[in-house]
Amino acid sequence: MILRDLQIVNYKNYEDVHIEFHHKFNVITGLNGQGKTNLIDAIYYLGLTRSFFFNVDTHNYRHGIDFFRLVGTFEIADKKEKIVAKVKKRTAKVFERNSKKYEKLVDHIGFAPIVMIAPKDQSLISEGSEERRKLIDSTISQLDAAYLRHLIEYKYVLKQRNQLLKNHAAHQRIDLSLLDIYDQKLVENGQYIFQKRKEYLDFMSPIFLEKYKMISDHQENCLFQYKSKLHETDFATLLKDSREKDKILGRTSTGIHKDDIVFFNEDNMIKHVGSQGQQKSFILALKLAQFQLILNQTNRKPIILLDDIFDKLDSKRVLQLIHLLHDQDLGQIFITDTEINRLKSIFEELNYAFSLFEVKENQVLLKD
């Protein structure tokens, strides 16, 4: 999977730019606030039909403009595929593949698999369980269209059930037959989601351990554990047993929307004991395992987007990481960095082929 070129029109700070990319390494440099992250976020949008940073498009339009357009030419097994995203305020967004409109956006997800690593990934360790569920849900959704459909349906039914429970808490009246229907729907969708999460996380676990050992030079062991009450009992029983509690609370207190992934360094939670370096290594290993899972399942190398991951690392460590990324044969990689000359010098020292871009004043300039 190679992104050959990209046109960005009115996306965030870009008015109209067209860029042709290298098939392996693309280094995007520039000062903070110039739009490096916006550029690779546009690539993410073309793959996942949304921004990496925002679930809604409110913040994605260029200031004062009510629409944006993204066009990318992808190459898969020597075949070119043109993907177009057309987004306009108060209008349903449109995605096209080779001029043919997708009837549903979910049908596009998985066509151009993407793995992104960014500073906000620190929240996978430091924040609550929602961030970790988002990661596994995003990964599996690129592999299993049925999973995405079940996930969308589950969230919709959960919202309806919670509204019913909230009304009961306020007025002490509830339609039990409707509650039964919601419970049945939650079970049907939730059980599928749980089984797929378990299946894919079991597959990722040994890959993650291997990648972390490689990054840490075999100095440490790390692992993750999937926590869900569905390991202990079936979903229908969980909902039945918590019904009275839910009626009091006015919300659904149990289910796959409460699942978590717990990270350990040796026998301790990495959230509590991991150094900044260990946590960065942990996240990188997790994303490399995500890459390997997608590759194994689809036989297609995801595009990798690395946003400012070398911040506060010395040049020696950056060189080691670039060397690691090269030796892993990961396919096409995009890297942003604020230091214009640092990565250029490292790539030249390693004699790796790459294209260097500088983002300046809302333009993307190819450097010699």
pLDDT category at 128 given cuts 50, 70, 90 is confident
Asked: is 128-297 a CATH 1.20.1050.90 domain? The reply is yes
How far from the centroid of its chain's Cα atoms is residue 304's Cα? 11
Pairing assessment for the beta strands 114-117 and 333-337 based on DSSP bridges: unpaired
Same fold: 1-113+300-368 with 128-297: no
Question: SS3 for the chain, per residue?
Answer: CEEEEEEEEEECCEEEEEEECCCCEEEEECCCCCCHHHHHHHHHHHHHCCCCCCCCCCCCECCCCCEEEEEEEEEECCEEEEEEEEEECCCCCEEEECCEECCCHHHCCCCCCEEEECHHHHHHHHCCHHHHHHHHHHHHHCCCHHHHHHHHHHHHHHHHHHHHHHHHHHHCCCCHHHHHHHHHHHHHHHHHHHHHHHHHHHHHHHHHHHHHHHHCCCCCCEEEEEECHHHCCCHHHHHHHHHHHHHHHCCCCCCHHHCEEEEEECCEEHHHHCCHHHHHHHHHHHHHHHHHHHHHHHCCCCEEEEECCCCCCCHHHHHHHHHHHHHCCCCCEEEEECCCCHHHHHHHHHCCCEEEEEEECCEEEEEC
85-114 pLDDT, tens digit per residue, is 999 999 999 999 999 999 999 999 999 999
Q: Cα angle at 282 between 281 and 284, to 5 degrees?
A: 65
Report the pLDDT value the prediction gives residue 274, as an integer from 0 to 100: 55
Query: Is 336 within 8 Å of 37 (Cβ atoms)?
Result: yes
User: Average pLDDT over the chain, rounded to whole?
Assistant: 89
Please give the distance of CA 245 from its chain centroid, rounded to a whole number: 34
Superfamily in which the 1-113+300-368 domain is placed by CATH: P-loop containing nucleotide triphosphate hydrolases (3.40.50.300)
Q: For 307-365, what is each residue's pLDDT tens digit?
A: 988 776 677 777 878 888 888 778 899 999 888 788 888 888 888 999 999 998 889 88
Extract the tokens encoding 71.
């066009």
Q: What pLDDT was estimated at residue 125?
A: 84
Mean pLDDT of the region 286-311: 89
Per-domain residue ranges of the chain: 1-113+300-368, 128-297
The confidence score (pLDDT) of residue 308 equals 87
pLDDT value, residue 271: 59
* Partners of 28 in beta bridges: 336, 357
